[in-house]
């Protein structure tokens, strides 16, 4: 079981969920280049100019560790990264679990992604001008669950530990990208986990993904925020277990 973190995060974000599967799976967590404790000198702007570069990183890990029959669990943008990896090398993957995914963050001709282009451009401009200010002010809204401010504070701190240049580049690739055309190409069975309220990936996005992704199952859990693996880990674990123990 391979766990992949979202934008501006690191593998520590899975500490509430990943251990629940250690008895039944070989559990592997990792950090993308520029995140966590990775070496920044390995970063290549050209390679990471699209999500395909990150997908190749996933496949490189799979090849290096000789992984097969993989359950890939990706949060947010890593859901699309895992999808691209599974499309390229489908025989390696048994299932994809997508936590709070979105194939397109911008609203577009009847499609509800949640953001207007001006919103995203302003977001990136704010990040560029005052990344630490953006991180500490925005993270609590992304996390939601205001009754537990320590969760938003941790997310903000993790954002701040990410290399700024990497984060800005990754943000543009993530929020301006469009992977809707890739959804029908995915043949690996997939679980889409969404919360009932998420400012980054609204429920309409989950509905869209479920409609356009073959062999997919949508599970809306009774939680809020974009990071249920941190704010509602048991619900997330239960959703994954329920899915993995049913026939596909």
Q: What is the pLDDT of residues 180-220, one digit of tens each?
A: 999 999 999 999 999 999 999 999 999 999 999 999 999 99
What does the chain come to in residues?
248
Strands 70-75 and 2-4: parallel
Nearest to 179 by CA among 84, 48, 98: 84
Tokens 């973190």 -> residue: 5
What average pLDDT does the structure give for the chain?
94
Tokens 């299932």 -> residue: 95
- Please identify, in words, the CATH class of the domain defined by 2-104+178-244: alpha beta
Q: What is the pLDDT of residue 33?
A: 82
pTM of the model: 0.95
Distance, CA of 29 to CA of 241 (rounded, Å): 18
Token pair of 66 as six digits: 């000789």
By annotation, the residues acting in catalysis are: 76, 198, 226
Nearest to 9 by CA among 171, 128, 124: 171
């Amino acid at each position: 079981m391979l766990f992949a973190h979202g934008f501006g995060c690191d593998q520590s974000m899975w500490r509430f969920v990943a251990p629940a599967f250690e008895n039944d799976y070989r559990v592997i967590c990792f950090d993308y280049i520029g995140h966590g404790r990775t070496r920044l000198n390995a970063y290549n702007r050209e390679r990471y100019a699209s999500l395909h570069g990150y997908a190749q990183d996933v496949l490189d890990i799979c090849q290096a560790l000789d992984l097969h029959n993989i359950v890939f669990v990706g949060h947010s943008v890593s859901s699309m990264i895992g999808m691209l990896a599974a499309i390229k090398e489908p025989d390696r993957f048994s299932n994809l679990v997508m936590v709070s995914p979105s194939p397109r963050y911008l609203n577009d001709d009847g499609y509800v992604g949640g953001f207007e282009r001006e919103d995203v451009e302003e977001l990136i401009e704010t990040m560029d001008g005052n990344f630490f200010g953006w991180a500490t002010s925005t993270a609590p809204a992304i996390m939601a669950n205001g009754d537990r401010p320590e969760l938003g504070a941790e997310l903000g701190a993790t954002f701040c530990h990410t290399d700024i240049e990497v984060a800005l580049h990754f943000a543009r690739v993530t929020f301006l990208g469009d992977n809707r055309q890739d959804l029908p190409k995915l043949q690996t069975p997939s679980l889409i986990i969404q919360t009932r309220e998420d400012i980054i990936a609204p429920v309409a996005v989950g509905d869209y993904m479920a409609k356009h992704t073959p062999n997919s199952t949508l599970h809306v859990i009774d939680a809020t925020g974009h990071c249920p693996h941190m704010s509602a880990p048991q619900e997330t674990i239960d959703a994954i277990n329920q899915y993995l123990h049913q026939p596909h």
